[in-house]
Amino acid sequence: MSSFPTAGNGKVTVPGILQRKSGVTPENSSPAKITCLTAYDYPTARLLDEAGVDILLVGDSLAMVVLGYESTLPVTLEEMLHHARAVRRGTRHALLVADMPYGSYHDDPMEAVRHAVRFVKEAGAEAVKIEGGERRMDLIARLVEAEIPVMGHIGLTPQSVNTFGGFRVQGRTEEAGEKLLRDARAVEAAGAFSIVLESIPRELAAKITAELRIPTIGIGAGPDCDGQVLVINDLLGLTFGHQPKFARRYADIGQIISNAAAEYIRDVQKGNFPADEESYHLPAELRGAAVTRRR
Ligand code: KIV
């Protein structure tokens, strides 16, 4: 599998995603909605890519759904790079976007650019995602200037969990809605090619989507966005505890894993695994003498 896929042959690109904005096609028709899923490892990336998803996001949700942290804050740049490289190896068709983790872009802007460059050079990311609106304008512009496409992210930005006092729906008052509209405009004006809207009222997401020229990708933001993103572990039933209402479960892989493990344990304990057909054998002429069985 190539590490750095080139455009063509159905490869999803940043300009291709921009073209998917509702109403921008010459005939003003509605293009198919953009599909985005998170991925954190090679086999999942490969399966999702082969299923035809448009964007694979190495989300910093990695911290919670794979590494077992309570929030996204602890995950490090090195951990994100490690997982992004694995996802790259499984991705051929989808656009690969990597989340910049908390602390990797909050201080010196030049350092933030260097960190984003690492995602491109070392992990083959084609874009990075950063959280925040108006206050990220300068940084988004710098990244774009450095030839790094940026996906914005506003609303319930999980890296702001301490500021918000928990994972809460955002933009529910008129004032908060106005602020999010300004944030969305700022992200677009700074040069982002798309924006994630997370956990905001459907009506507000529809308004932002209608106003922006870049595609909106919703998660808990209703059906009127230009695309949707879900955390793959939520979709597959591979999470523990509270599930937000927007996280539709398409499979119960957690139950499948539990059942398979329980069956394996039973089989080993009863001596039903491995069977003779699952064992290697000496050549026939050497067998009788060599095989001893401890009792
Ligand atoms: O980290 C993540 O998985 C995300 C998506 C929920 C958009 O940011």
State residue 30's pLDDT score.
77
Environment class of residue 112 by beta-carbon count within 10 Å: exposed (0-12), middle (13-18) or buried (19+)? buried
**The residue type at 156:** L
* Average pLDDT of the residues in 114-119: 98
**What's the DSSP call for residue 159?**
G
Q: Give the pLDDT confidence score for residue 249 in this predicted structure.
A: 97
What digits encode the pLDDT tens for the residues 44-100?
Answer: 999 999 999 999 999 999 999 999 999 999 999 999 999 999 999 999 999 999 999
CA distances 229 to 8, 10, 121, 172, 288, Å, are: 24, 20, 25, 21, 60
Question: What was the pLDDT predicted at 29?
Answer: 67
C-beta separation of 280 from 290 below 8 A: no
Q: Provide the mean pLDDT of the chain.
A: 94
Of 41, 48, 60, 61, best ligand 1 pocket probe by most atoms within 8 Å of the beta carbon = 61
Q: How many CB atoms sit inside 10 A of residue 135's CB?
A: 9
Question: Is the minimum distance from the CB of 183 to ligand 1 under 6 angstroms?
Answer: no
The CA–CA distances, whole Å, from 105 to 37, 70, 138, 214 equal: 23, 21, 12, 23
Between CA 200 and CA 178 the distance in angstroms is 12
Residues 6+ positions from 50 with CB-CB distance below 8 Å: 93
Q: How would residue 290 be classed by pLDDT, with cut points 50, 70 and 90?
A: low
Quote the Cα angle for 242-244-246, to 5°: 155
Quick check: 116 and 97 in contact, CB under 8 A? no
pTM of the model: 0.94
Separation of alpha carbons 50 and 154, rounded Å? 29
Residue 238: partners with Cβ closer than 8 Å, 6 or more residues away: 65, 232, 253, 254, 257
Please give the DSSP secondary-structure letter assigned to residue 21: S
Q: Is 198 a catalytic residue?
A: yes
Of 70, 111, 198, 263, which residue is the catalytic one?
198
What is the reported pLDDT for 7?
A: 55
Q: Residue 106 C-alpha to ligand 1 middle, in angstroms? A: 18
